[in-house]
Structure 1
Amino acid sequence: MLDALYIATIIILEIEELEIQERCANHGDTWENTKELFYKEARRGTENPYFWSSVKEFSKILEKYYTK
């Protein structure tokens, strides 16, 4: 079974390790608020479509970083 909090934590740690938080923050918001919202989505579980939408968006940013 997938653990949404584990997935969120791994993505957040990767973003912070790469120091690309500004690229990942929601428009007009801080990284800290964006991160807290992502954790909130993850706590609702893998059935939450908003969680997967965030995973998709963060993945796109990470892909661009790694394939530049």
Structure 2
Amino acid sequence: MLDKFLAQLGEDTELLESYQKAPKEVMEEYGLSEDDITAMLSADEQKLKERAPHRSPTHLLFVHQPNDEK
């Protein structure tokens, strides 16, 4: 499920904007498991690779790049 979420996050600008504002809530609404949510919020590269083996490290880094404008 995390693979699908990450793919959609990379394609859907509305989803990405919502995720940037409230990541946990968006992931919960999407139906991700607590383990997936924890891996995403921790930005633990090893956990993310285990939970989303079909995503490239570049994709994962994009999702977790901090936004200094907030």
Using the size of structure 1 for normalisation, the TM-score is: 0.29
Using the size of structure 2 for normalisation, the TM-score is: 0.29
